[in-house]
Amino acid sequence: MNIDDVEIEDGELTIESVFAKQHELMKVYREIEGRHFPLDLDTREGQAVVKDFLWRITEEVGEALDSSLGASHVKEEMADAMHFLVELCIFTDREEVGKDAFVSNELPLGRTNEKTLWVKLANVGRVCKNKPWKQTQIPLDQQAFTAALTELIWEFMEYCGQKGFQNATELYFYYHKKAVVNEFRQRSKY
């Protein structure tokens, strides 16, 4: 099953519906991965989860870049990246910050590229100072983390505009299509 097999009614395609759906998906994924939220971002373990999600976003954007299967596949990969970005907001107790950041950007075209998106991803990770080899745990600079996450979401939205999304509603539409696929995969133990 893939997004081409899914029909979605336009109905409630809002950022609130995206976050609500991600909460539903997380119920099963939390059990599979053994993660709880909100994360303690002052710990090495909590910051490692942040970096794991940054990598997941990076991987999905990379798949969108590498896609030779057409525009619909590119949009599916960007919807995958959005799943991980929304989940990162939830795991880090930044749900309201995330919602505000997603709706404050209406996908302006041509203002970003992969390099600037990679920099914003790296900036979120750079705020997480706890490394596996460090003996001392360093508390997270909460304000810097929130600012970096907000900038990442803005850059992500602009990049989605560059990748062919006409507006945020279309991105939410693809997100919900992919959510149906993910629910199917959860049920089928994919």
Note the Cα 31 to chain centre separation in Å: 19
Q: Does some domain include residue 4?
A: no
In a domain, 5, yes or no: no
Alpha-carbon span 49 to 47, nearest angstrom: 5
- Count Cβ neighbours within 10 Å for each residue of 59-84 and write b for 16 or more, e otherwise: ebbebbeebeeeeebbbbbbbbbbbb
pLDDT band at 52 (very low <50, low <70, confident <90, very high): very high
Model confidence pTM above 0.95: no
DSSP labels, 52-102: HHHHHHHHHHHHHHT--S-HHHHHHHHHHHHHHHHHHHHHTT-HHHHHHHH
Q: Is residue 1 part of a domain?
A: no
Classify 28 as helix, strand or coil: helix
3, part of any domain = no
Residue 82 lies in a domain: yes
For the chain, what is the domain count? 1
Residue 19 forms part of a structural domain: yes
pLDDT digits (tens, 9 = 90+) for 118-131: 999 999 999 999 98
The boundaries of the domain holding residue 125 are 12-187
Q: Which pLDDT tens digit goes with each residue over 63-115?
A: 998 877 788 889 999 999 999 999 999 999 999 999 999 887 666 665 778 89
- The residue with greater pLDDT, 8 or 14, is 14
Domain for residue 2, yes or no?
no
In a domain, 132, yes or no: yes
In the numeric block, the tokens 């990076």 are attached to 58
The Cα 68–Cα 16 span in angstroms is 32
